[in-house]
Amino acid sequence: MRMNDILHAVVQMVDEHGTHETFPCNGLTVATHDEISHDIPTMFPVTDETTVNIAYTHKTRRVVNRYYMNKYAALANEVVEVLAPTKTEEQLHKCQDVKLFAGAPIIAIRTVKKMKVYNAEMFDVVEFPRPPTGWHNATLTQLKDIAQKMCLPSSGNKAALVERIENKESAFVIRSRRSGEEIHVPLERFHDMFRIAYCITVHQSQGQTIRERYTIFDWYLPFLKDEERARAKYVALSRGTRKDHVQIDTSDSVLYGDDVLKSFIEHVVLNDDYVGDKPDFETFAMRHMLDKHHAWAVETRAKHNELFVPRGMCTLAVYTELIDAVVEDVRATAIRVNAACLACVPMSIDTCL
């Protein structure tokens, strides 16, 4: 049997089996709704964490990258934080705030021949040569749509916060996984040339070979035609060199809403860690938005006649009066809500209020 036929058979097997229990799939690990790693606070309903991941949507890509970026930045000796030059919803898929540190994987999003950087090429960050004046004296450009921030001096060689550095000597060193060559890149060019690459899109993964364990997100893609959906799954599955290296997130991980948290939410439901008698203000505000979003999601699933069925519905009748009193402050609160309040885990009746 040809490899293409095997991969298409695997796609069909996973789809037909459903998502409510684990099953052996010729060595392929299929992580299902009930296999949750509770150590992971955000969106990972899979059995194991993998630092190589593939997603179909930019929404999922950003969430996965944000999780691993924050996790490993906390362990790094030196972190340089670069804020995105634009924060508008329309352009969120083009850039994101990043924390760069030695060992961070990045992917090129354009070709710059004079720098020997090619589109979709993978790199690893090596180091950050300091400007002669130090990070805290670097020249900054204040950007209209970003709140003014101070450039903090490096404290104990731990961190420096910068918005955009104009000093041409402020560069970071990256190493090509293809050639092994080291390249100096101006820090101000990061958003123009690279993205964090703990997770890449299916499109970006074309031509890539993954020789380690990796996870595929966005397995169910209701907005795609059958042929397009099968093609996306085929590309994601065929990146690996061993079938037992592939882990699939079969949860419904991509939903769209129009509430104030839509830029942060992918398949948001309540985790029983946040179901208590006296949740704080931020949790109240979050629950209000989650309820609104989940109601929208149920309606959308019904319209599209999806294969999956919601496993519970959270209602907030008990908290309605209090939430109504604070909803005007939700927009400001949302920016401060800890990422752990977003729990992309499947909902069950037991976790509903």
Look up tokens 């100096």; give the residue. 184
Give me the residues paired with residue 123 across strands.
106, 176
Highest mean predicted confidence (pLDDT) among 36-45, 140-149, 291-300: 291-300
Residue 213 lies in a domain: yes
Report yes or no on 149 lying in a domain: no
Question: For residue 100, what is the DSSP state?
Answer: E
Q: Tell me, yes or no, whether 59 and 199 share the same domain.
A: yes
Distances (CA, A) of 296 to 263, 264, 310, 313: 16, 16, 12, 11
pLDDT at residue 125 in the model: 92
Which of 212-221, 319-328, 341-350 is predicted least confidently? 341-350
Q: What is the mean pLDDT of residues 176-196?
A: 88
Token pair 């595929």: residue: 216
- Cα(190)–Cα(164) distance, integer angstroms: 10
**Domain count along the chain:** 2
Query: Of 246, 281, 307, at which residue does a domain stop?
Result: 246
Lowest-pLDDT range of 67-76, 150-159, 209-218, 292-301: 150-159
The answer to whether residue 336 sits within a structural domain is: yes
Same domain, 212 and 343: no
- Asked if residue 258 belongs to a domain, the reply is no
Nearest-angstrom CA–CA distance, 318 and 316: 5
111 and 28 share one domain: yes
Please indicate whether residue 251 or residue 214 has the higher confidence score (pLDDT).
Answer: 214
Sign of CA dihedral 73, 192, 209, 62: positive
62 and 197 fall within a common domain: yes
Spatial distance between the Cα atoms of 32 and 19, rounded to a whole number of angstroms: 5
Comparison of pLDDT for 206 and 337, the residue scoring more: 206
**Which residue range is the domain that position 315 belongs to?**
272-351
Higher pLDDT, 244 or 64: 64
Distances (CA, A) of 189 to 18, 74, 83, 151: 44, 24, 12, 18
The mean pLDDT of the chain is: 59
Res 105: pLDDT: 95
Of 74 and 265, more confident: 74
Residues 61, 173 within the same domain: yes
**Percentage of residues in the chain with pLDDT exceeding 70?**
41
302 and 340 inside one domain: yes
Asked if residue 285 belongs to a domain, the reply is: yes
Both 43 and 109 in a single domain? yes
**Is 49 found in the same domain as 176?**
yes
Question: 18-22, 200-204, 223-227, 347-351: which has the minimum mean pLDDT?
Answer: 347-351
Q: Do 31 and 115 fall within a single domain?
A: yes
Check the CA dihedral 86-91-97-103 and report its sign. Answer: negative
Q: Is residue 202 part of a domain?
A: yes
Structure-token pair, residue 50 = 């993998």
Same domain, 226 and 191: yes
- Residues 211, 118 share a domain: yes
Position 204: which residue type?
A: Q
Range of weakest confidence among 11-20, 275-284, 317-326: 317-326
Residue 263 forms part of a structural domain: no
Counting Cα atoms < 13 Å in the Cβ hemisphere of 173 gives 9
Q: In 138-221, where does DSSP find H-type helix?
A: 190-193, 202-205
Residue 138 lies in a domain: no
Q: Assign 121 a pLDDT band (cuts: 50, 70, 90).
A: very high
Nearest to 108 by CA among 98, 116, 100: 116
Are the C-beta atoms of 141 and 166 separated by less than 8 Å?
yes
> What was the pLDDT predicted at 334?
37
> CA nearest 108: which of 199, 193, 207?
193
Please report where in the chains the tokens 């909803």 appear, as a residue: 327
Q: Which residue from 94, 88, 98, 101 is spatially nearest to 59, judged by alpha carbons? A: 94
Whether residues 93 and 221 fall in one domain: yes
| Nearest-angstrom CA–CA distance, 200 and 90 | 19
Chain segment 69-98, per-residue pLDDT in tens: 888 888 887 777 776 665 454 555 556 778
pLDDT at 115 over 50: yes
In this prediction, residues 22-28 reach a mean pLDDT of: 38
Model pLDDT, residue 291: 54
Average pLDDT over residues 280-298: 48
Domain boundary pick from 246, 280, 306: 246
